[in-house]
Chains A and B, each alone.
Chain A
Amino acid sequence: MTVHNLYLFDRNGVCLHYSEWHRKKQAGIPKEEEFKLMYGMLFSIRSFVSKMSPLDMKDGFLAFQTSRYKLHYYETPTGIKVVMNTDLGVGPIRDVLHHIYSALYVELVVKNPLCPLGQTVQSELFRSRLDSYVRSLSFFSARAG
Chain B
Amino acid sequence: MAIFSVFVVNKAGGLIYHHDSYAPRAEAEKTFSYPLDLLLKLHDERVLVAFGQRDGIRVGHAVLAINGTDVNGKYTYDGKEVLEYLGNPANYPVSIRFGRPRLTSNEKLMLASMFHSLFAIGSQLSPEQGSSGIEMLETDTFKLHCFQTLTGIKFVVLADPRQAGIDSLLRKIYEIYSDFALKNPFYSLEMPIRCELFDQNLKLALEVAEKAGTFGPGS
| Residue among A24, A34, A53 with most chain B CB within 10 A | A53
Q: Mark B68-106, 1 if CB is under 8 A from A, else 0.
A: 000000000000000000000000000000001001000
Of A55, A61, A64, A85, which is in contact with the most chain B CB atoms at under 10 Å from its CB? A64
Contact size range, A: 35 or more
Partner of B122, one of A20, A41, A49, A58: A41
**Is the Cβ of A57 less than 8 Å from the Cβ of B139?**
yes
Which listed residue, A23, A40, A48, A55, touches B127 by the CB 8 Å rule? A23
Residue A137 interfacial (CB < 8 Å): no
Interface size counted on chain B using CB atoms at 8 A: 39
Q: Which residues of B contact A109 (CB under 8 A)?
A: none
Identify A62's interface contact among B58, B117, B122, B140, CB under 8 A.
B140
CB contacts under 8 Å to A, within B136-156, are 136-142, 144
By beta carbon, the residue of chain A nearest B20 is A54
Q: Which of A66-74, A100-108, A111-119, A123-131 lies at the binding interface?
A: A66-74
Q: Tell me whether B138 and A64 are in contact (CB under 8 A).
A: yes
Known: A54-B142, A54-B158, A61-B137. A34 touches B125 (CB 8 A): yes
A48→B140 contact, CB < 8 A: no
* Inter-chain contacts of A40 with B (CB < 8 A): 121
Complex contact A52–B127 (CB within 8 A): no
Interface assignment of B175: CB less than 8 Å from any CB of chain A: no
Give A71 to B133 CA distance when docked, in angstroms: 12
Residue of A48, A55, A69, A85 near B111 (CB, 8 A) is A48
Kindly state the separation between the CA atoms of A78 and B153 in the bound complex, as whole angstroms: 38
**Chain A positions within 8 Å of B158 at CB level:** 52, 54
Q: Does A141 contact B (CB under 8 A)?
A: no
CB distance B142 to A44 under 8 Å?
Answer: no
> B115: CB under 8 A from chain A?
yes
Shortest Cβ gap from B74 to chain A (Å) = 17
Docked-complex contact B132 and A57, CB < 8 angstroms: no
Q: Does A60 contact B (CB under 8 A)?
A: yes
Instruction: Check A38/B125 contact, CB under 8 A, given A52-B158, A66-B133.
Output: yes
- Decide yes or no whether A32 CB sits under 8 A from chain B: no
CA distance A49 to B140 in the complex (A): 10
Asked whether A59 is an interface residue with its Cβ less than 8 Å from the other chain, the reply is yes
- The smallest C-beta distance from B50 to any residue of chain A, in angstroms, reads 15
| Chain A: minimal CB distance from B216 (Å) | 14
The answer to the question of B26 belonging to the interface, with a C-beta cut-off of 8 Å to chain A, is yes
Whether B126 and A49, one on each chain, are in contact in the complex, defined by CB atoms closer than 8 angstroms, is no
A5 within 8 A of B: yes
Across the interface, do B141 and A4 meet the contact criterion of CB distance under 8 Å?
no
In the complex, whether B37 has a CB less than 8 A from a CB of chain A is no
B111 adjacent to A52 (CB under 8 Å): yes
Contact with A along B158-187 (1 / 0, CB 8 A): 100000000000000000000000000000
User: CB-CB < 8 A to B123: which residues of A?
Assistant: 66
A interface, CB within 8 angstroms of B: 4-5, 20, 22-25, 27, 34, 37-38, 40-41, 44-45, 48-49, 51-69, 71, 85, 87
**Between-chain CB contacts (< 8 Å), 25 pairs:** A5-B127, A20-B127, A25-B126, A25-B129, A38-B125, A40-B121, A48-B111, A49-B137, A49-B139, A53-B141, A56-B26, A56-B60, A56-B141, A57-B139, A60-B140, A61-B138, A62-B138, A62-B139, A64-B122, A64-B134, A64-B135, A64-B136, A68-B131, A69-B127, A69-B128
